[in-house]
Chains A and B, each alone.
Chain A
Amino acid sequence: MKKSSHWTHRAWLILPLLAALFLLMAAGKARAALDEAALQQLATGDFGARIAAIEAIGAGGGEDARRLIAALEAGELGVLDGRVVILTGGTVTDAASGATLEAAANAVDTLRVNNRVRRAIGTAKAALDLTAGERDTRLAAANTLRDNASETLLPVLERALETEQDEAIRDIVLLAAARVNLNAAEPAKRLKAVSALGQSSDPAVRTMLEPFLLPANEPDALVREAAADSINAIERRVAFAQHVGTVFSGLSLGSILLLAALGLAITYGVMGVINMAHGELLMIGAYAAYLVQGLFRTHLPEWVDWYVVAAIPAGFFAAAAVGVLMERSVLRFLYGRPLESLLATWGISLVLIQAARVIFGPQNVELANPSWMSGGVELAAGVVLPYNRIVILGFGVFVLVLVWLMMNRTRLGMFVRAVTQNRPMAGCVGVPTARIDTLAFAIGAGIAGLGGVALSQIANVGPAMGTGYIVDSFMVVVLGGVGQLAGAVWAAMGLGIVSKFLEGWAGAVIAKILVLVFIIAFIQKRPQGIFALKGRFADS
């Protein structure tokens, strides 16, 4: 569906990291002594020994260590007569003392780097970064160490735990340390580690802890108990995060339902017109967004990220224009006959669908999420709140407020309510009822267009897209009580959250059927929806 550009995020993480490294390297003239034994190992040992040495050097910390690791990564570290030397250009420097050696560069035996070594280099760098640098650098380092730390790095982790102020980083470091300690020989260390892991909310940690429940793997009863407690704590936390996620996706679905149904709440709820072409008005809004995107791509490529903003008025007015046309040509002759307006508007919807198919082709068209709507906020492992859903939620609130203001605070809204409540009387006191009908229908249609612009950001845009929403929209309006904006809001949000919880439990289709059964049952109890009915056709 939508392409999201994760690389930009990664770039934002890496850039400050590089910058910090660079600054530190430039400033680092002061020397901390490198671990001699480790250097020796690096020079003479096999790959395994070298990896251990690299980690030890990383754990030791200091500017020299950083330079050494950087050189190793760049392939500029070599061995000359059993000593580790750094090759920069043509000059050879002793790694331990920093003294320049009078030796030919080609006499140096460069250290080879394989994948395991490379991973060790990464870990060592992370260990060096963990106690120095900006927050982003430390966070990245902590994340690296969480997966790769070994016992050698334990002192670094403990040092970081003492000094680190940032909660998020501390949590990760705690995890990393606990992970290392899980393999410790002493039961006390394991106990501590197992308890510490209970702080996590990562389902992966749960699988890590599971072996400690079995006596065959874990001899110490206390550790077993602590592991069980930790697993419970993790499960509780994961379940909570998932509930929050479900509620959010329910609200997000609810806001989509609301955007789809708000226009209907006006045309059906207030005016009593059963508009089966409502879904096609959504479609017109979505296609308007598509056209605006095309215009921006060809004429304003540098502003293309903001096409959505320009699409909002475009969608509104395109759908409103079609609405005016519908009202003037067909619907005004059918007021007071809801079943016939239903059938006539269905005819209109057929015509609109086919028109879209002829103009834009039968395939779905591509709409790109602007970059500021890609990605999301991660609540917990696996629970992500996507930005586009958040934006649509906010947009729904915005449109709702707009409609409420329009209906309750403007002259037009007052006229619409007057015509709704008593048409002949409104006409008698000089309200131009025919024009109000047209305007009200145009606004209802325009709001459907706004819904279509919002939908274009999360769903397929094609000639048939409207039909999928029409049933849902009517459900919202019927459940909420005809003519009640507040009812539509409650119904949309309620339906959204209920269906998301049911979906998690029974799957999407069964959830849909259950929601339908629920609505039928609900209408049994309250035949006029959540709120009582005050429309033009209260009895129809």
Chain B
Amino acid sequence: MRTPYTVRLFTSMPRAGWVALVLFALFAWVWMPIAHLALPPEHALHVSSYWVSLLGKILCYMVVAVAMDLIWGYAGILSLGHGLFFALGGYAFGMYLMRQIGRDGSYGAELPDFMVFLDWKELPWYWSGSDSFLWALFLVVALPGVLAWVFGFFAFRSRIKGVYFAIITQALTYAAMLLFFRNETGFGGNNGFTDFKRILGYGITTPEMRVVLFGLSAALLVGVLLLGRYLVTSRFGRVLAAIRDAESRVMFIGYNPLHYKLFIWTLSAVLCGLAGALYVPQVGIINPSEMSPANSIEIAVWVAVGGRGTLVGAVLGAGIVNLAKSWFTVSFPEYWPFFLGFLFIAVTLFLPRGVVGLWEQLRSRRGPQAASDPAPEAAPAPVSAAQGPRPPDTVVPAQVSESTRGATA
């Protein structure tokens, strides 16, 4: 098996990997507070609040991308519903934020504004405890976790996988979006939650809070990367990759893939929930459009652009696409969808291993001894396009290529 890039980053080049992490930590926890809080706005190195929020938001997206890479890149499960778990975490924390508004809403009422607007007299039962920070943290983890566990249990038990699984997760997030769009659901309907004022009594738009949230997002990303690195290098990660490549054979050896898949799936959902919880206070709004199938597919785009099964690639992909998005949507709002669409077609056609793969391709071209992985990548999204597109007449049916792949691997 090709060693994942992160693994190499931490094992074969331990110093470079740790140096990169330390540099990132210094940037996030030392440089950012100084540049945003201490330097005056006129200063050339001052980081504006726009950039702090944007980068914090992208850090959350990066966490989601790593979570997606864990299940897609390593377990071979493509989820088109990860936006749902992200949004659930966001809504769980958003409930707390709504309660923190208190009587400062535009109606000056104890209830959140949208409930006053709907003429509700008291909080629905599922909002009980929402004024407690700890309960909110619990919900952030529990809501996506439980939903993912229940859904994953039934899906994996009946061995739904591949395209079927992708489509069902897409339908799941679509159904949830329809549900959350309704006012009766009690989550603000179309508009969702917005107009937050404070967290734990501290103002949410103060520069200090912004820096703290940014730092927390960075910490979450570092933690998720380390956890992911630990998981994929452990025996667990190897079994997972084995399931991805040949599930039946793993079963014949005596493993039950259900537990492995279920664990990584639930973990991935929980990580998305955490990212969602950090995303909401930084962006200031959560609404059902986060659950739209298109948003979830976009998460897969980040990972594919960066390179699947690399962890670092997911981080890079999320960063590249989202920075491009914020630049495009400001400069050429008309052309962003064209760009994203063509980017994606180009990546699937020409860069099946993403940006990280491109870098490796270039590296191997410079020094042939560096190309130390001649074995084809055995991911469900194989690599043949890396050798250039095949003429369609020689395309081998999947069953055949499956078995030949088995014979050579």
Contact = CB atoms under 8 A, between A and B. Distances in A.
Interface stretch (B47-55, B153-161, B254-262, B272-280): B153-161
Nearest to B297: A346
Contacts of B345: 330, 344, 347-348, 351
A422 B340 CA distance: 36
A343 B402 contact: no
Interface residues of B, number: 58
B392 A434 contact: yes
Nearest to B340: A350
Given A333-B389, A354-B338, A467-B294, A344 B163 contact: no
B349 A344 contact: yes
B75 to A, nearest CB: 13
B367 interface: no
Contact of B337 (A332, A334, A350): A350
A520 interface: yes
Interface residues of A, number: 55
Contact of A471 (B293, B341, B392, B399): B293
Interface string A117-141: 0000000000000000000000000
Contacts of B341: 347-351, 354
Interface string A465-477: 0010011001100
Nearest to A328: B392
A333 B398 CA distance: 14
B160 A340 contact: no
B337 A437 contact: no
Contact of A336 (B157, B179, B401): B401
A335 B398 CA distance: 9
A516 B393 contact: no
B398 A536 contact: yes
A340 B381 contact: yes
B132 interface: no
Where chain B touches its partner, the secondary structure class is helix
Contact of A523 (B158, B179, B392): B158
A540 B166 contact: no
Nearest to A352: B341
A348 B397 CA distance: 24
A415 B334 CA distance: 43
21 contacts: A276-B297, A335-B395, A336-B398, A340-B381, A343-B300, A347-B341, A347-B342, A347-B344, A349-B341, A354-B338, A437-B392, A475-B167, A478-B164, A509-B179, A509-B181, A512-B175, A516-B172, A519-B168, A524-B154, A536-B398, A540-B398
Interface of B: 78, 151, 154-155, 157-160, 162-164, 166-168, 170-172, 174-175, 178-179, 181-182, 293-294, 297, 300-301, 304, 334-335, 337-338, 340-345, 348-349, 352, 380-382, 385, 389-393, 395-399, 401-402
Given A337-B385, A474-B170, A540-B398, 17 more contacts: A274-B166, A330-B345, A333-B390, A335-B395, A336-B396, A336-B397, A336-B401, A346-B301, A347-B343, A350-B337, A423-B396, A434-B392, A471-B171, A512-B175, A520-B155, A538-B399, A540-B162
